[in-house]
Amino acid sequence: MASVEAKTPESIFGELRRLSPKVTGGIMRMREEAYREKAVPAKYKLLTAMSISIALRCEPCIEAYVKMACDKGASQEEFVEFLDVAMTMQGCPGEEWALKAYTAYKGYVAGQQAKSGAGCCSH
């Protein structure tokens, strides 16, 4: 049996998904449905998820949702308005975490990949 250290997170996830196919990966299925283009454009749903990630203080999620919103065409002005909402709801801590989101946005539009990869729960 290979050691756990030798396996990548993706291979560990794949193994667990084979062992528990109905539960493991459920978050991916929820995201695929929740962030589809429907009555509300996907970019606004992703910007909302980014704002919630700021409130939850999850930096990998912030970076992932910034990237996904950029990929759906969110403008800098739209980002800033959603950052305003997050800061308003969180006060000083919200401002600190909004700065992380804005830094991720600036890096992504400049062609730099986020430092923490694809984000948490991104299997």
pLDDT at 22: 86
Taking only the tens place, the pLDDT of each residue in 65-122 is 999 999 999 999 999 999 999 999 988 999 999 999 999 999 999 998 655 545 566 5
Are 108 and 66 in contact by the 8 Å Cβ rule? The answer is yes
Fold of 29-109: AhpD-like (1.20.1290)
Task: Provide the residue ranges of all domains of the chain, joining segments of one domain with +.
Answer: 29-109
Are 82 and 50 in contact by the 8 Å Cβ rule? The answer is yes
pLDDT at 7: 77
Whole-number Cα distances in Å, 94 to 22, 53, 55:
36, 10, 6
pLDDT at 112: 80
Burial class (CB in 10 A: 0-12, 13-18, 19+), 73: exposed
Taking only the tens place, the pLDDT of each residue in 11-63 is 898 899 899 988 888 888 899 999 999 999 999 999 999 999 999 999 999 99
For the whole prediction, is pTM greater than 0.85?
A: no
